[in-house]
Chain A
């Protein structure tokens, strides 16, 4: 027992030693200088002090963010940058805790559909842009800078990277079914017809026309020119005839087993379904294009095409955007602004981003990004750029989480065939309206 006591005392001493020696320097935002937003021009020599930045991601995407921060360090050697890079999961919980404690990072990674938007947490960046004579329309890739300004004119962030979708298709399955490859002038009716023609087999041997990807629910309201709600989130449009028609298309494809039903779609990951040739088409986001190409390897021939057009002749697409915002409580706003400006508009940084997404800077998107191919393929990335300008912002999530949940319930009623599209819309559209009303209260 004496040994046990000795061990316990020893461990306590180690603990105290560890505690005493641990560094506490990770979270101090002691701005030593320039908290002056009235400075007329950017001067890297006058900006100093310390800032903390917070973002998330994994793999190459995260590495690009870290490399971008190194570029900032070279440009602003007097600014000490503390980096918080987290896995994408559960970031909200950490941010909520940090904001509540008043020690959130000076610069926060965000998306226009993120819940921080339209909140009181973020600094309005408009005065900074005006002071530095920056015209976003001239600088940014068309479509990249959408959604960062609230309806009342507050700019809550600047863009860095974007991603759109293409429809990847398995050429072998098309060839076997004798169906010509899709071209970019196809419509959603063409898509439905093709998906049905490509579907064959039954049970575990069923090959589906298209996988059931999580993005499809986001695409659905736009198939026939509809939309889920108006621009200022005050009125839902789920019960518009165009939107109902789009939801009926999903209903029809599930009934025809051209899309897997709930049981089949839960049997394996959807990228696995495409890679293992159990589905002919897959909505391929740029963010996963390289991974998917690696997984396919030499297993089969494949290509990509823009998603089908709506009746107005517009290829329906969804974009996912990532930018950076400034914490209103930052103690070093000049350095924070310098960081945001660098990671959003610096050419070297945007060339780094070109490896993981569509860069915000038009110059980089049109040159570096446009010339690249999806790794291990000869498919040019420029196809994704073409989809960006007309792409809709990811319509659900973030600040309208409650409406999102209700829309997902609506889609589940359709995909599980509990209700027809019309019945589901009748049931859930008023609830979505209530949820949107709550956002404005």
Chain B
């Protein structure tokens, strides 16, 4: 009898626990769905606007689903300026700059993580100090430099600097990641006869893949969307990037063809979305393991 009561108690407790877990789960899902919708709303609005006629863009109350769906914004928007050329330029700049950033930042970070000297701390502080300098301050001196070596109106100023360090934040992120890798691995490789560079590319690089992918994703997003640097260094229409091209939808007085702007912006954001979806597992892992939080 006693045993029976005990079993009943246990069953009730189990049922209550299960019910409370289910309720918690429902609340979690509702909350997450609401938040997801809130965050997705601007994107949904962008899609809706891209499919609207100009006269429907500003109707009150706003309509998420257009009464007349038009695809003309995509074709007319794409023809509004040379977006095919802009896309190609953006691809070239992004691909090369990202490769430069990832490899050069990894080399510098490896140095800071594994080679100690009396000046290491000081040098690393200087590297981090460059993060405090706003880009605007560097614009005129770097413009003069690139102008003197004849690089204005070429893609070089947007690509080549990436091969010289890759940016303080990326160095910091990778250095943190390198530091999590046991030094015993290096020592074992040294015993096997590996030199520093072999240790770097045969042992360390494969181990920090998630961090490298994180750097790559951040770098892609930066270079793909960068407006200021292309604006400063590029002159000719055939060299422009997408970020500049999208601004042409706005005239001198701020009025814009918003439906076409949204349509072309939607096309240009798709590669980034796909990339993020593919790389998000590594991206999150890289951010978490390096101890850097947003």
Q: Does B139 reach chain A (CB closer than 8 Å)? A: yes
Q: Distance (Å) between the CB of B105 and the closest chain A CB? A: 13
Q: Does B22 reach chain A (CB closer than 8 Å)? A: no
The CA of A272 and the CA of B54, in the complex, are separated in Å by 11
The CA of A163 and the CA of B154, in the complex, are separated in Å by 35
Do B136 and A93 touch (CB < 8 A)?
A: yes
Instruction: Offer 27 A-B interface pairs, CB within 8 angstroms, sorted by A.
Output: A1-B201, A4-B201, A14-B96, A15-B96, A19-B154, A19-B159, A22-B154, A22-B155, A23-B153, A23-B154, A24-B151, A83-B236, A84-B235, A84-B236, A85-B237, A87-B244, A88-B247, A88-B250, A88-B253, A93-B136, A96-B140, A97-B139, A98-B147, A102-B147, A276-B60, A278-B60, A322-B252
- Of residues B232, B239, B253, which shows the largest number of chain A Cβ atoms within 10 Å of its Cβ? B253
Task: Select A90's contact among B206, B228, B248, beta carbons within 8 Å.
Answer: B228
For the complex, count residues of B whose C-beta is within 8 A of A: 54
Q: Does A62 reach chain B (CB closer than 8 Å)? A: yes
Q: Does A298 reach chain B (CB closer than 8 Å)? A: yes
The CA of A320 and the CA of B251, in the complex, are separated in Å by 13
Residue of A nearest to B227 (CB): A90
Q: Does B205 reach chain A (CB closer than 8 Å)? A: yes
Do B143 and A98 touch (CB < 8 A)?
A: yes
Do A272 and B55 touch (CB < 8 A)?
A: no
Do A101 and B144 touch (CB < 8 A)?
A: yes
Q: Distance (Å) between the CB of B268 and the closest chain A CB? A: 15
Residue of B nearest to A15 (CB): B96
Do B139 and A87 touch (CB < 8 A)?
A: no
Chain A residues with CB under 8 Å of B83's CB are none
Q: Distance (Å) between the CB of B163 and the closest chain A CB? A: 8
Q: Does B85 reach chain A (CB closer than 8 Å)? A: no
Q: Does A397 reach chain B (CB closer than 8 Å)? A: no
The CA of A275 and the CA of B59, in the complex, are separated in Å by 7
- Taking CB atoms and an 8 Å cut-off, the chain B residues in 225-245 that contact chain A are 227-228, 231-232, 235-237, 239, 244
Q: Does A18 reach chain B (CB closer than 8 Å)? A: yes
Do A93 and B139 touch (CB < 8 A)?
A: yes
Residue of B nearest to A21 (CB): B154
Q: Distance (Å) between the CB of A27 and the closest chain B CB? A: 5
Q: Does A86 reach chain B (CB closer than 8 Å)? A: yes
Chain B residues with CB under 8 Å of A268's CB are 58
Selected interface stretch from A137-145, A232-240, A284-292, A307-315 = A284-292
Say yes or no: A101-B143 contact (C-beta < 8 A), given A275-B58, A299-B55. Answer: yes
Do A294 and B54 touch (CB < 8 A)?
A: yes
Q: Does B57 reach chain A (CB closer than 8 Å)? A: yes
Do A18 and B96 touch (CB < 8 A)?
A: yes
The CA of A263 and the CA of B109, in the complex, are separated in Å by 48
Q: Does A59 reach chain B (CB closer than 8 Å)? A: yes
Q: Does A351 reach chain B (CB closer than 8 Å)? A: no
Q: Does B117 reach chain A (CB closer than 8 Å)? A: no
Do B249 and A59 touch (CB < 8 A)?
A: yes
Do B156 and A90 touch (CB < 8 A)?
A: no
Do B252 and A56 touch (CB < 8 A)?
A: yes
Q: Does B64 reach chain A (CB closer than 8 Å)? A: no
Q: Does B42 reach chain A (CB closer than 8 Å)? A: no
The CA of A56 and the CA of B253, in the complex, are separated in Å by 11
Q: Distance (Å) between the CB of A62 and the closest chain B CB? A: 7
Task: Select A101's contact among B147, B159, B248, B250, beta carbons within 8 Å.
Answer: B147
Chain A residues with CB under 8 Å of B232's CB are 93-94, 97
Residue of A nearest to B60 (CB): A276
Residue of A nearest to B139 (CB): A97
Q: Does A373 reach chain B (CB closer than 8 Å)? A: no
The CA of A131 and the CA of B145, in the complex, are separated in Å by 39
Task: Select B201's contact among A5, A275, A288, beta carbons within 8 Å.
Answer: A5
Residue of A nearest to B103 (CB): A8
The CA of A270 and the CA of B151, in the complex, are separated in Å by 42
Q: Distance (Å) between the CB of B203 and the closest chain A CB? A: 9
Contact with B along A63-99 (1 / 0, CB 8 A): 0000000000000000000111111111001101110
- Taking CB atoms and an 8 Å cut-off, the chain B residues in 245-273 that contact chain A are 247-257
Chain B residues with CB under 8 Å of A134's CB are none
Q: Distance (Å) between the CB of B25 and the closest chain A CB? A: 36
Say yes or no: A100-B153 contact (C-beta < 8 A), given A58-B252, A287-B253. Answer: no
| Leading 3 A-B pairs by shortest Cβ distance | A26-B153, A297-B55, A87-B247
Contact with A along B118-162 (1 / 0, CB 8 A): 000000000000000000100110011001101111111001100
Do A24 and B153 touch (CB < 8 A)?
A: yes
Q: Does B99 reach chain A (CB closer than 8 Å)? A: yes
The CA of A229 and the CA of B263, in the complex, are separated in Å by 45
Chain B residues with CB under 8 Å of A98's CB are 143, 147
Q: Distance (Å) between the CB of A101 and the closest chain B CB? A: 4
Q: Does A50 reach chain B (CB closer than 8 Å)? A: no
Q: Distance (Å) between the CB of B290 and the closest chain A CB? A: 20
Chain B residues with CB under 8 Å of A54's CB are 235
The CA of A188 and the CA of B60, in the complex, are separated in Å by 30
Say yes or no: A298-B257 contact (C-beta < 8 A), given A58-B248, A93-B136. Answer: no
Q: Does A412 reach chain B (CB closer than 8 Å)? A: no
- Taking CB atoms and an 8 Å cut-off, the chain A residues in 12-59 that contact chain B are 14-15, 18-19, 22-27, 52, 54, 56-59
Q: Distance (Å) between the CB of B79 and the closest chain A CB? A: 12
Residue of B nearest to A25 (CB): B153
Chain B residues with CB under 8 Å of A275's CB are 55, 58-59
